[in-house]
Amino acid sequence: MISLIEAFPKQLKEALEIGRNATLKTPGGPYANVVITGLGGSGIGGRIAAQLVHKEAKCSIEVYNNYYLPGYVNHKSLVIACSYSGNTEETLAAMEQALTKGARVCVVTSGGKMLETAKSKGLDHIVIPGGNPPRTMLAYSLVQQFFLLHHFGIIGDGFEGSIKTAAAMLSEEKEAIKKAARELTEKLHGKRLVIYSEANTEAVSIRFRQQVNENSKELCWHHAIPEMNHNELVGWAGGDNEIAVVLFRHSTDHERTQVRMEINKEVFAKFTPHVHEVWSKGDTAYARQLYLINLGDWVSLYWAEKKGVDPSEIAVIDMLKGKLADVK
């Protein structure tokens, strides 16, 4: 797990090469909407990508983490199915629905039934390296989302330079990021974590939560501002000093949201002294979000180390899949 997290900048560069060399069919279109389907470590890339491109996307992009697709999917839809193993049953089911509805379907996977189906039905597909936990291969699945969105005319090609620059920045900042992650881990260990960010960074908060769940074996939750100001903020009347707050922040966050965050910090401080801000680094939105992702990954690993747990172990998920396989 250590080597895989450390390899994140390198993986981003390799993912760019995979995307550039992908062989895809004539894009067709225009498309009325895009739906990305995937779960867990395979699905979070789509959510991060949709969040990053929302200002330039030429149509709506929605992410579905379930067995089904929205009713509006039809022959004018582009559906991106992402399953690292290629055997995620929910994503396979959604993919079949997309084909039945006549949507343009493309696939991001390392193999399995999904790749078999893509090849047999002549679907566009990008193959990424296999053999590792899906959550450690985010760079590959994430970057391919941008290449597909670009190929099908949804976004421009500016993402390539942004990701290349971000990868270089993460390599240069590696030791500083690890140091910041260790310091944050010391503050979080033994506490129940709550993660907040502006809505435009919510996917990164989800990624951090997932990593803390799987690697650190910890329950935690997240919410986005300003939405949480209309509900969860009241729930802080039940807060206590066993809770630790992490606020993911950018200097580019909406000015009114930044005001809200400062007021929110005052509310949190009435119930817990453990309120920690993590400010992103980078010249682009891609770099800033990738910085927070990388730092959060390191925190989840260091937290596992402090607890003495194996960050790679996911026995309970394997048990669930085994029992599901027994149900016909």
3-state percent helix, strand, coil for the chain, nearest multiple of 5: 55, 15, 30
- Which candidate in 151, 214, 222, 223 is catalytic? 214
What is residue 69's three-state secondary structure?
coil
Q: Which residues contact 94 (CB under 8 A, 6 or more apart)?
A: 37, 64, 66, 67, 68, 69, 79, 81
- Which candidate in 119, 179, 276, 321 is catalytic? 321
75 is catalytic: no
Distance CA 47, CA 209 (A): 14
The secondary element (H helix, E strand) that includes residue 212 is: helix 202-214
- Which candidate in 55, 230, 270, 328 is catalytic? 230
Distance CA 93, CA 98 (A): 9
Which of 157, 163, 151, 173 lies closest to 12, judged by CA? 163
Alpha-carbon distances, residue 46 vs 55, 87, 100 (angstroms): 15, 18, 22
321 is catalytic: yes
Q: Is the peptide bond before 70 cis (omega within 30 degrees of 0)?
A: no
Distance CA 24, CA 130 (A): 20
What is residue 56's three-state secondary structure?
coil
Q: How many CB atoms lie within 10 A of CB 320?
A: 11
Among all chains, which residue has been given the structure tokens 């002294």?
A: 273
**Catalytic residues, which ones?**
214, 230, 321
